[in-house]
Amino acid sequence: MPIPLHIVVCAGIVPDPLQTLEPITGPGLKNEMLLPAVLDPWAASALYEAAALAAKNPGSKVWLVSLGPKAKLQQVMMTIAQKVPFELIPIDGPIGGFPDAHSTAAVLAETIAALPGLDRSRLLLFGGWESANRGAGVTLQLVGERLGITDQFQGVDQITLRDDGSFEVLERVEGGKHQVSVCLGAPAVLGWATGNLAEPRNNPQIGMANMRTLMPALQKAKPATLAPNGLRYVSVALPKQQRTTRVVKDLTPDEIAAELAAWIGAE
Amino acid sequence: MESILVLTHADDTGAILTKASLETVTAALALAARLSAPLTIGIVAADATPPANSLAATGSRLLAVSGEPFAQPRYATDAAACEALCRAAAATIVLVPGSSRFTRIAAAVAHRLHGFIDTHITSIAPQMQGAPGLASETRESDSPPSAVEATRWFYRQRIEAVLTRDARPWFLLLDAGTNAPYAAEPGSAQVEQIPVTLAEIRTTVTGLRSPQQGTQTIRPDAKLLFVAGAGWTKKQPDGQTHVPEAADLILGFLRSTSASLGSSKSLVDQGGEGQSVLPFLTHLNQIGQTGATPRHPKGLSTCCHGEEPHVVGWRFIAERRAISLDPNCGWSRGKADVVYVADAFQVILKLNALLTQAQS
């Protein structure tokens, strides 16, 4: 029997992984507003899993709550809006990994609590278990805590909903294994890892449907400022990564294998 | 004056503390000594006596939350247990191991204590220090000296920062593998039991599951990380793909070396795109920008390119070698110690033979 769910996905935007990053005083990234941006990869997994879950349970609804500069959000949503159906709840705030996660969580929780029509007893709060910028893995947890949700799962790769509303969750734990848990049902927080779904293909019809609400929502995006909460950066730097590489071009496979065998066996 | 609490938990057996917990004890002892701060150790376990005895030699105050509900990792019970330990210790700095169990709850506990948390900490220093050897450093000039500074990475191991906070309590979640595990002869420890009142438990942990039947290819404690790139499934010089042969070679290498297997995102993603894939690979093997950043003493990359998203997966590999057909591969730009320009199929075949011969 389908169970109508209210799924709220928290997803930030991050620089395209192929971009070169350079820190500047602030701290921040050099030309950060000019770097091509993408939806945070693990949060994107959460969005696709949310859409798949909603599709299997008619009557469900997916909200996408995203904090970032309005212009960058609009740029990223031009692509994401073609993937899966959702209602965008944009928050106009700073970009980047250096703002404090506690402040980000407070803004997100306040926004989610005020969502019109949200039934918290049916709420599944989704997001990435870590972002690709701050990568702290705490924002979603803090949002859940602020919303009073006491069943939380992180590093989720799978959720299986049961007829009685309970669900089984697979969470990543040490040693390449999953911890299997059964929760009585919503509300719950699920911080997604990769999940099992491929990125959906672009669907112009979905894009057109999303666009009807997306642009007005972006225009009405509330501004947010993030307090530092006593967080200070002493230094921000690129790592020293340059190694003196020996490029070996003239050895036979036998000779390379012998060299590697000696290297592997050496303490 | 600072006071320090380190939170620890027992492993699956319940008899000993996890390696990550013992590493955090090491870091806490060092920090407490440098700050001349009192140290308290909190333990979460079904029976805290055996783990506590292993910490007797620390001479620290020991607190514990015990009982059957705390045998399994679960948000509601673990958060309640750690909250109780923190309230009992009333510490200004709380060190937490970066295990999956405590990563799940540490931020929530910090919030309940009206504190703040920073995670993935790789080192803690008691006073302002530079970051020796760092390139392109941006020093925040108006930062006053502080009692404690923590180092962590941003943008998936691409930027390193040293940070500090005035707010207390300050929770610091330490990355596993960044300290030596605490080890001492067990003694007889005095443990203060901290009572916890639990609300309704809505989640039941039913067990652990490996992602697939057969070989477990992820070994966090392995000395060597073997990285398989997408080249293993591409057409070879004869114009054909040789995925079954690639699988045999890789598994043969893993059997001979007990190495851990990492993979590039592109190789794992091929499964979702309907292409031939190595049957034992899952997203759990994925390293790099959207995967894990494991810590191993050595790493051997095969059939990978050396773009930045891959390189972040290698950030914490000490010695790195690579086999690639492309002499202009990114690896040759200062990211690996040695790059062999060769066919990985041929080299691994010969290497497996040598390793098997050496074992026999």
List the domains of chain B with CATH numbers: 4-193 (3.40.50.620), 224-359 (3.40.50.1220)
Give me the sheet containing A177-183, strands edge to edge.
A222-223, A87-92, A61-68, A6-10, A123-128, A188-192, A152-161, A167-173, A177-183, B203-209
Please tell me the least confidently modeled range out of A22-26, A242-246, A249-253: A242-246
Residues B104-124: what's their mean pLDDT? 97
Say if the Cβ atoms of A102 and B143 lie within 8 Å. Answer: no
| Cβ-count burial B144-158 (b if 16+ within 10 Å, e if not) | eebbbbbbbbbbbbb
Q: Are A127 and A12 in contact (CB under 8 A)?
A: no
The residues in B 18-57 lying below 8 A from A, measured between CB atoms, are none
Distance CA B291, CA B218 (A): 13
Nearest chain A residue (CA) to B346: A253
Any A CB within 8 A of B105 CB: yes
Residues 6+ apart with CB under 8 A from A208: none
Residues B202-208: what's their mean pLDDT? 96
Three-state DSSP class for residue B270: helix
More confident residue, B35 or B278: B35
Distance CA B200, CA B45 (A): 19
Q: What is the pLDDT of residues B285-312, one digit of tens each?
A: 888 877 888 889 999 988 776 565 566 6
Say if the Cβ atoms of A157 and B283 lie within 8 Å. Answer: yes
Residues B243-258: what's their mean pLDDT? 93
Distance CA B143, CA B163 (A): 10
Distance CA A11, CA A47 (A): 8
* Average confidence score pLDDT of chain B: 88
Q: What is the pLDDT of residues B183-195, one digit of tens each?
A: 999 999 999 999 9
Q: What is the pLDDT of residues A208-244, one digit of tens each?
A: 999 999 999 999 999 999 999 999 999 999 987 678 8
Say if the Cβ atoms of B167 and A230 lie within 8 Å. Answer: yes
Best of A141, A166, A196, A251 to disrupt the B interface (most B CBs within 10 Å) is: A141
Say if the Cβ atoms of A17 and B346 lie within 8 Å. Answer: no
Please tell me the least confidently modeled range out of A242-246, B158-162, B165-169, B257-261: A242-246
Distance CA B234, CA B193 (A): 59
Say if the Cβ atoms of B210 and A194 lie within 8 Å. Answer: no
Strands in chain B per DSSP E: 4-9, 39-45, 61-66, 93-97, 116-125, 135-139, 149-154, 159-165, 170-174, 191-193, 203-209, 224-228, 260-263, 296-302, 317-324, 338-341
A213: distance to nearest CA of chain B, Å?
Answer: 30
**ipTM given for this complex:** 0.94
DSSP string, B301-325: EES----HHHHGGGTTEEEEEEEES
Which of B106, B161, B285 has the CB atom closest to A233's CB atom?
A: B161
User: What is the token pair recorded at B75?
Assistant: 């948000």
Judged against a pLDDT cut of 50, whether residue B136 lies above it is answered with no
Distance CA A22, CA A103 (A): 24
Q: Which residues of B touch A258 (CB under 8 A)?
A: 354
| Cβ-count burial B95-124 (b if 16+ within 10 Å, e if not) | bbbbbbbbbbbbbbbbbbbebbbbbbbbbb
Which of B119, B307, B341 has the CB atom closest to A137's CB atom?
A: B119
| Residue-level pLDDT at B130 | 43
| Residue-level pLDDT at B144 | 46
The verdict on domain A6-223 having CATH code 3.40.50.2000 is no
| Residue-level pLDDT at A2 | 76
Nearest to A64 by CA among A97, A99, A93, A88: A88
**B336: confidence class by pLDDT, cuts 50, 70, 90:** confident
Distance CA A37, CA A21 (A): 12
Any A CB within 8 A of B161 CB: yes
Say if the Cβ atoms of B107 and A142 lie within 8 Å. Answer: yes
Residues A4-18: what's their mean pLDDT? 94
Please tell me the least confidently modeled range out of B69-73, B105-109, B126-130, B308-312: B126-130
Any A CB within 8 A of B138 CB: yes
**B141: confidence class by pLDDT, cuts 50, 70, 90:** very low
Which residue type is seen at B303?
C
Distance CA A57, CA A2 (A): 5
Token pair 């620290």 is at which residue?
A: B60
Q: Which residues of A touch B120 (CB under 8 A)?
A: 135-137
CA dihedral A64, A41, A194, B122 (to 10 degrees): -120
Distance set, CA A166 to CA A119, A122, B75 (Å): 17, 11, 17
